């Protein structure tokens, strides 16, 4: 008789039991201490794996700390936004600043002109010891970007040096934390 009641109780209770829900493991994303070059390389690889962004845009990546600056050209805003989302999705990225202009990528002549201007500016700034640690100057489509930490501490000196090379230069300061 005990077996009968035990079986009956088991049958009745079976409908009351819920299957346990699987518990998703807690994933802790840890930031790796990457060099600026390594982080920029990771972002470049991630962007290159997106076929449309890779094929239709010309985007350069600058990394300082865990901050990313995107420079270049995209024929469509959504491709520029895709590149920004890709960079933001990496766990090593704190902030992405998107300075990609909406236009056709530059031709090789424009790229060569940028490189020549950038070389002159870099040489002048190095000779005058104007760039501090964590600061860079780069040229994209004849616009000079002054990027880094504490850039306003020496901005006027850097600006004067750049304007001595190219008096009509457009200089965009990008201050990173």
3-state SS, residue 32: coil
Note the CATH architecture for domain 108-175. Answer: 2-Layer Sandwich (3.30)
3-state SS, residue 64: strand
Quote the CA–CA distance of 154 and 107 in Å, as a whole number.
33
Instruction: Determine the pLDDT at residue 2.
Output: 56
- 11 or 172, higher pLDDT: 172
Q: Could you report how far apart the first and last alpha carbons of the chain are, in Å?
A: 77
Over residues 19-73, the pLDDT tens digits come to 555 555 444 444 556 788 899 999 999 999 999 999 999 999 999 989 999 999 9
> Residue 64: which of 137, 155, 157 has the closest Cα?
137
* Cα within 13 Å of Cα(110), Cβ side: 12
Evaluate whether the domain defined by 36-102 bears CATH number 3.40.50: no
The answer to whether 36-102 and 108-175 have equal CATH topology is no
Range in 2-11, 112-121, 142-151 with the lowest mean pLDDT: 2-11
Hey, what's the torsion of the CAs at 42, 44, 48, 50, to 10 degrees?
A: 70
Over residues 138-173, the pLDDT tens digits come to 999 999 999 999 999 999 999 999 999 999 999 999
**Is 119's pLDDT higher than 90?**
yes
77-89 helix and 36-48 helix, angle to the nearest 10 degrees: 130
3-state SS, residue 166: coil
* Domain residue spans of the chain: 36-102, 108-175
């Amino acid at each position: 008789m005990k077996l009968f009641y035990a079986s009956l109780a088991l049958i009745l209770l079976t409908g009351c039991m819920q299957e346990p829900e699987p518990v998703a493991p807690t994933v802790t994303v840890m930031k790796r201490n990457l060099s600026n070059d390594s982080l920029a390389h990771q972002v470049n690889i991630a962007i290159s794996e997106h076929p449309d962004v890779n094929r239709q845009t010309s985007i350069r990546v600058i990394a300082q700390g865990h901050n990313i600056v995107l420079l270049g050209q995209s024929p469509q805003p959504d491709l520029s936004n895709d590149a920004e989302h890709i960079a933001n999705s990496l766990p090593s990225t704190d902030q992405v600043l998107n300075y990609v202009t909406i236009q056709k990528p530059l031709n090789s002549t424009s790229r060569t002109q940028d490189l020549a201007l950038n070389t002159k500016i870099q040489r002048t700034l190095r000779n005058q010891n104007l760039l501090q640690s964590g600061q860079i100057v780069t040229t994209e489509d004849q616009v000079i970007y002054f990027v880094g930490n504490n850039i306003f501490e020496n901005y006027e000196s850097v600006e004067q040096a750049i304007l001595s090379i190219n008096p009509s230069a457009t200089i965009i300061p990008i201050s990173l934390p």
